[in-house]
């Protein structure tokens, strides 16, 4: 599950009622069918290919939660511009993003707003095959890290290594481009950055055990939200009813996935049949426990999480423009919260 860049679009249709024959009887005496409400077509763009980060969306679609809210939701994959750009520009109204990208975007005037934290705590970190004997950040010394060229990677390595009383200058960093973990560690790389809920589970299934060093275990400021469900400011201002409906159904989808991981996995596979069923089942069993974790409800976000990560970015000179964390997210459209009530 790799990170993608910015994007947005608002595709809005009027909701109409089919009133022909309402309250009348057919000529044979049978009561006329109840009028049907037309569904509003809405798109949500993924950050990458379908995986268990996205299960709640597929559950909401396949179980009819979106339809119950008057929505016909299409789940699409990002184009060349990336999900953030598609959402920010109004090309699609909803998408999957990350706090890292959202923070950058907001400082550049990009109007992305997070509606929910899909996973409550950061489940990403540095992974290495067990034979590499990398058990903590101090073991990065003398090893080679395979990165993706992100501006925060070396700063994160520095944070973890300094927290473990190690010298970050003694790790070699190379760019592995689009190579995945399994390819990279079989070449010139000792460790790389993964999301445990997918790649870590896949490693288990392959019989290739790994050691995992989670970012959040070495700095609370790195326990940021990843991934997020986002929209843009205009969508919130101009069509809050659709945002409310979409979030009500999506929250129901993730709540179902939390309570019924096996059935939820089946629904993801129904919507994305090309996925490896064994991996989806095992990943879902693990990640369903992470969606809400210790939060009061699925999706809830905290101001201090946004502030803490932005502070960390500023400390490491990754962020040099003003960032207002209060405008970067809203809980208002979650069930029982603010405008979403």
pLDDT string in tens for the chain (341-residue length): 443 333 332 332 222 222 233 333 333 444 444 456 799 999 999 999 999 999 999 999 999 999 999 999 999 999 888 999 999 999 999 999 999 999 999 999 999 999 999 999 999 999 999 999 999 999 999 999 999 888 799 999 999 999 999 999 999 999 998 889 999 999 889 999 999 999 999 999 999 999 999 999 999 999 999 999 999 999 999 999 999 999 999 999 999 999 999 999 999 999 999 999 999 999 999 999 999 999 999 999 999 999 999 999 999 999 999 999 999 999 999 999 975 45
**CATH number at 6-120+225-340:** 3.40.190.10
Half-sphere exposure of 207 (CA within 13 A, CB side): 0
How far is residue 204 from each of residues 188, 189, 196, 207, 281, measured CA to CA in Å? 22, 19, 10, 5, 13
Strand order in the sheet with 124-129: 172-175, 144-147, 191-195, 124-129, 210-214
Contacts of 97 (CB under 8 A, 6+ apart): 47, 83, 84, 87, 112, 114, 227, 228, 229, 230
Q: Which CATH number among 3.90.226.10, 3.40.190.10, 3.40.720.10, 3.20.20.80 corresponds to the domain 124-222?
A: 3.40.190.10
Distances in Å between the Cα of 127 and the Cα atoms of 8, 190, 191, 270, 297 are: 32, 9, 5, 30, 30
**The domains spanning 6-120+225-340 and 124-222 adopt the same CATH topology:** yes
Give the domain ranges of the chain: 6-120+225-340, 124-222
Kindly tell me the burial class for residue 40, based on how many C-beta atoms sit within 10 Å of its own C-beta (0-12, 13-18, 19 or more): buried
Q: How many CB atoms within 10 Å of residue 237?
A: 10
């Amino acid at each position: 599950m790799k990170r993608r860049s910015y994007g947005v679009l608002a595709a809005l249709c009027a909701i109409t009622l089919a009133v022909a024959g309402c309250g009348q009887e057919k000529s044979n005496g049978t009561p006329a069918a109840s009028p049907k409400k037309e569904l509003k077509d809405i798109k949500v763009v993924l950050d990458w290919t379908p995986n268990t980060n996205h299960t709640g969306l597929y559950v909401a679609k396949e179980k009819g939660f979106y339809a119950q809210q008057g929505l016909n939701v299409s789940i699409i994959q990002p184009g060349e511009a990336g999900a953030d750009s598609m959402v920010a520009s109004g090309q699609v109204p909803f998408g999957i993003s990350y706090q890292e990208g959202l923070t950058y975007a907001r400082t550049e005037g990009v109007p992305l707003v997070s509606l929910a934290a899909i996973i409550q705590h950061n489940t990403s970190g540095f992974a290495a095959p067990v034979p590499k004997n990398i058990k903590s950040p101090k073991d990065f010394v003398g090893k080679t890290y395979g990165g993706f060229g992100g501006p925060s990677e070396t700063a994160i390595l520095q944070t973890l290594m300094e927290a473990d009383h190690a010298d970050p200058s003694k790790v070699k960093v190379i760019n592995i481009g689009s190579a995945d973990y399994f390819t990279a560690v079989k070449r010139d790389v000792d460790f790389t950055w993964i999301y445990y809920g997918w790649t870590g589970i896949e490693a288990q299934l392959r019989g290739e055990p790994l050691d995992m060093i989670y970012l959040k275990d070495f700095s609370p400021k790195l326990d940021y939200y990843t991934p997020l469900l986002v929209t843009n400011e205009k969508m919130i201002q101009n069509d809050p009813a659709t945002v409310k409906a979409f979030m009500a159904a999506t929250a129901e989808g993730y709540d179902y996935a939390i309570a019924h991981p096996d059935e939820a996995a089946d629904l993801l596979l129904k919507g994305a049949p090309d996925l490896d069923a064994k991996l989806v089942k095992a990943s879902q069993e693990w990640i369903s426990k992470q969606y809400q974790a210790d939060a009061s409800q699925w999706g809830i976000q905290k101001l201090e999480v946004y502030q803490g990560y932005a502070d960390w970015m500023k400390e490491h000179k990754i962020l040099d423009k003003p960032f207002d964390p209060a405008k970067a997210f809203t809980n208002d459209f979650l069930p029982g919260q603010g405008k979403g009530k």
